[in-house]
Every structure is written in structure tokens, then in C-alpha cells.
Amino acid sequence: MSQPTGARQRPVLVILGALLGIYLIAPIVAFAIRIIGERQTGFSSPGLFGALGVSAVSATASTAIIAVLGIPLAYCLVRFRSRLSTLIGLLVQLPLAIPPLMSGMLLIVLVGPYTPIGRFFHGALTESLIGVVLAQTFVAAPFLIVVVRATFATIGDDLFDAAATLGHREFGLFLRVAVPVARDGIYAGLLLAWLRAFGEYGATVILAYHPYSLPIFTYLQFSGTGLAVTVAPTAFALAVAIVVVVASRVPLRPRRHRYHPVEGARVAKIFDDRPLQFAIAHRAGDFVLDLAYLGDTRRLAILGPSGSGKSMTLRALAGLLGRNTGEVRLGDEQISSLPVGDRGIGYLPQHSALLPHLQVAPQVNFGVGAHRATAQYWIERLGLAELVDQRVGELSGGQRQRVALARALSRDPHLLLLDEPFSALDSAVRREMQREMRMLQQETGLASVIVTHDFDEAALLADEVLVIEDGHLIQRGTAEEIYRQPVNAMVARLVGIENVFIGTVAAPGLLRTGESEFAFEGPALETGTRVLWSVHPDGVLVGPGGELRAEVIDAYFRSGHRYVLVRYSDDIDLVARVPAAGAASIGDQVGISLAEIAVRAQ
């Protein structure tokens, strides 16, 4: 029997990888053997421990400088994207590409003893410990910036958006969101930068020959006495590297804090009868969002296909796109001029946007000005009391969304924004969360805007629906109005009407599609008018009393009902919902009738 292709290729990959592994390990093994057999190792050489101390102290100092300045720089390069940030991002990586010796030349030009900066400090920036730190900082900083920048870039914007709506300004987003979430990357970057600084030679020997760092001391010993006396400094460097590499493998685990609930925590019902109104205009590349709503409902749904601008609308309402995206009002108050965290908005993103390092209780209390009593109320109300000490990774999808909802409500918002909050959940949990949300709406009277592509969800959680496409309003009305009279085929399919066709008015009360003609009751339209017509599967009646003949070409069970697909003509296939008892089978010839045909001129 022949081996699978993957099995045959595996030894080749192992051999290729092993060759490099052996090459990297062999010098270390050879060095260890030499230590065993070497009599003169250099451990008693004068200045050895002083050089080791210089390298350790200067590497620690430069790493501290790099951390204080480099971590914020990496954050800014990720958060504030522009041509300038791109240019800066490229420039700060140049020391990685320049030979360290040339880096020292660049530093001499900047801070050497005969430069304006050097003269100002009376030559203290060279031939000193300060010079060693400057050289190491220049060479090692890019290692931390590159690693931390890449780690910050993996943090989803929804985490920052959610935290911003909870009242955290940019510095708070940096300290409370970015740094804790990226702690492992920051830790790795700091260790890498420290190692690079500890082993720096080229720039240091040019800028600060004295005091001797360990690499410079080792070179001087080698050039003056020979290989034997370099065993000791090399052993020290190798030992330090091993310790740091091992330390890098130790995971950072945030402490667990025991949450103590507030006794008797209760809050009054939230009720804010101010209607939401807005007029939004925003451009993102070639996409233009131009949407206005001047109604008076307090429970609104925004429905549309993917890429229609739904989430962008919600982010504009929250102020996450800036203050120049139009006007947003709650009653008589214009909130569009307020910072994001001051708008009184609760925000529930699609994937919960919980902070992975926090337990449930701190998550719910994460908002600036969140009241512990209010947070405790929502913890209990949403069934989270048994989960307060759990972290995100220990929660199910439904539990995460409950935590995110409790967090959004803990600041007593005037308006709740929901961005497809249940779409990632399985159907049973999604229905449970939808029912829970409806109960909360009824209990609190909280104004809400939900973005969704699920018409049933929009109908359940909103009194009025806006259907948008390509950033523009297509149709507005109650869920029933839109369902009964969709304005186009896109809307019809979006609300779940599978039988949608284009036709023309053949005569008053008669429409034609292809060679087929159907009677309809509806608006008086002139003969020849192009129309969109649709009929719900419930309106396709299958039975012996049907005046039209069709053939069953498919039959299936979905969402608790039986459906058949019947072919009336080459132009028209119709989905019909039929009773389970006596359902037609594929190939049957059946009679059909069409009831409640919706017709709209195009």
C-alpha cells in the first residue's frame, strides 16, 4: 500500500528543519564541552564583573526608556492611522536594517562631543554610561516597537469602541484596554529589547567606548589575550540569555479577584421617553452614508444587507466616527456635539467586545462612573450572579452577550445601540436572548436602535424599521407594512418573501410575467406599468381546489413547517408552506391558488 503524499513529505520537512536546528545548537554544545576541558577561562580577569554590571544596568535603563516611550508610540502608530504615522512607522524600523556600527556613526553626528547637543551636555553623552544607554536604546527600541505594534494591531476596534462608549478617553483606552490586552506581547517585546541592549556592541563601541560593556570587554580580551579568557564573559552572556528566554515562556496570568456583591442592590426602572432623531452624512473612501430619521419611535431597527452601512450608522450615532458626521438628537438635546463617553449611550457590539483579562464583575463595572449597585442589579437581573468570578474564556457565547449587555446598562444609558448582537449565537440561544431583550425593553422603556439583517429580530425588537442599501434609506415603516408592501426585490428577500417576480400590468387587476397571467387586488395601475409582485409562501395555496396547475419539484422541512417548491411555468417557481398531513411529494401534479399578491409599481 502506498503512503499518503503528506506522509512521504513529512521526513523531508523534518530533515530540513533539523539541519538548521543542529546548526544553531551545535556552537552551544561545543562551547559547553570547551568549558569542561578549559583551564584558563577568564573568570578571574579584572573588570569582568564590572563589565557585566555595566551591561545589565545600561540594558535595564535603556529598556525602561524604551518601555515608557516606545509602548505609547506603538499604540499611536496603530490607533492614529495616517500617512504621517506610516512614515514614522517605517523610520523607527531603520535601526533594524542599519549595521550597528553605522548606527553609532549616526549617533555621533547627533550627540557627539562637538555637536550642539554634545557641547550643551559638556560631552557627557559620550564615553559614559549615559552614552552606553543612548546607543543601546537606539538599536534596541525597534525590537519592542515592532512586537508591541503588531500585538496592538490584533486588538479589535470593537474593544476600543465599547470602552469609549463607557466613558474612557484615549489615555484610558491605552491604559485600561490596550496595555492589559497586549500584556503578553509587551512582555515579549521588553525581554527582546533587553536582550538586544545587553548584547549591543557596534553602536556602543563608537559612541561610548568607556565604560566597558560586556561585549566590548569580551572583544578586548579576545584581541589582547586570545580565545581562552573569553569563556567566562561568553558563559555569562549565554546564562543571561537562557534565563531571559525561559522567562519569556512563563505566561503572565492576571490575578483573580474575589467579587463581593452589594447587598440589596436594586435600581429603579429606566425610562426615557425622548425620541431619537438623526441626520447622518459620512464618507469612507468611495462609500457614502446619507441617512436621516425624523420620527418619534423609541425602538428603531436598521435592516439591510451586508455592506449597506448599518454598523457605520450605529457607530455614527455613538460618536465613534467623530463629531462631524451630522446631527443626533434625543428629544430636545443635541448629543452629536458631545464626546462619545458623555452621550449617555450603551453599546452592545456583535461579538460582545469583552476584555479577556477581566472577570465578569469587573467587566460589568468597567464603565466610567458605573454604579456598583446598578451593576449588581443587572448582574442579578441577567442571571450572572454565579459567573461573577469567571473570565471571558470560561463563558459561553450567550453568557458573554449577557455580560456585555449588563456592562452597557450599568451606566444608566438613555439610548441602547445594538450591532447585530445575537448573530454569532446558535439559534436556540439567539431566540432566548431576543426574548430577554424584548422583556427588558418592555420593563425599562429604554430607547434602543438595533442593527440587523434578520427581519424577524427587527420585527420583535423595534416599533419601526429602516431598510437601507448602499448607505441610503430604501424603505421605512412598521415591520408589517414593509412585509406587506416591499419596495423592491432586495427588500422582499430581506424580509423573507421567497416568491418575488417582475411583471407588467396586462389589464386592470391583471399582471403578466413571461407567458403567465395572474389576477390581483391592489392599486389601480395603468396598463403596461412595470411592477414588482410577491406572494408569501402562506399565500400559495396547494390543494385540489386550486385553479392553476403546477408540478412539485422539491419538498423539505424547515423551522417546524413543511414546504414544497412548485413549478407553474418556465418563468415561475413558487415556494408554498403546506400542512404536514397529506403533503405533496416530488413529481405530483397539484392545483394552486395565489392569495394576497402584493404589487408595487417600479
The residues spanned by each domain of the chain are 48-248, 276-480, 497-601
| pLDDT of residue 270 exceeding 60 | no
At 57-103, the pLDDT tens digits run 999 999 999 999 999 999 999 999 889 999 999 999 999 999 999 99
Residues 6 or more apart whose CB falls under 8 angstroms from that of 10 comprise none
Percent of the residues in the chain that have a pLDDT greater than 70, as a whole number? 95
At 271-297, the pLDDT tens digits run 666 788 999 999 988 899 999 999 888
Least confident window among 198-212, 248-262, 343-357: 248-262
Q: Are 149 and 78 in contact (CB under 8 A)?
A: yes
| pLDDT of residue 267 exceeding 60 | no
| pLDDT of residue 476 exceeding 70 | yes
- Regarding the domain delimited by 497-601, which CATH topology (the fold level of the hierarchy) does it fall under? OB fold (Dihydrolipoamide Acetyltransferase, E2P) (2.40.50)
Mean pLDDT of 562-589: 84
Task: Tell whether omega for the bond before 211 is within 30 degrees of 0, i.e. cis.
Answer: yes
Positive or negative torsion for Cα 191, 194, 199, 202: positive
Least confident window among 259-268, 490-499, 581-590: 259-268
| pLDDT of residue 261 exceeding 80 | no
pLDDT computed for residue 263 by the predictor: 65
pLDDT computed for residue 595 by the predictor: 83
Do the domains at 48-248 and 276-480 have one common CATH topology? Answer: no
Residue 546 and residue 593: Cα distance in Å, rounded? 5
At 414-440, the pLDDT tens digits run 899 999 888 878 888 888 888 988 988
| pLDDT of residue 1 exceeding 80 | no
Mean pLDDT of 226-252: 87
The residue ranking higher by pLDDT, 565 or 560, is 565
Q: What are phi and psi of 330, to 5 degrees?
A: -115, 105
| pLDDT of residue 221 exceeding 60 | yes
583 pLDDT band, cuts 50/70/90, is low
Q: Are 574 and 527 in contact (CB under 8 A)?
A: no
pLDDT computed for residue 426 by the predictor: 83
What the block records as the C-alpha cell of 216 is 566590548
351 pLDDT band, cuts 50/70/90, is confident
| pLDDT of residue 147 exceeding 80 | yes
| pLDDT of residue 517 exceeding 90 | no
Residue 470 and residue 465: Cα distance in Å, rounded? 16
Mean pLDDT of 97-118: 93
pLDDT computed for residue 538 by the predictor: 86
485 pLDDT band, cuts 50/70/90, is confident
Residue 228 and residue 40: Cα distance in Å, rounded? 6
Least confident window among 157-161, 179-183, 196-200, 578-582: 578-582
55 pLDDT band, cuts 50/70/90, is very high
What is the CATH code of the structural domain delimited by 276-480?
3.40.50.300
- Regarding the domain delimited by 48-248, which CATH topology (the fold level of the hierarchy) does it fall under? MetI-like fold (1.10.3720)
Mean pLDDT of 16-35: 88
| pLDDT of residue 179 exceeding 90 | yes
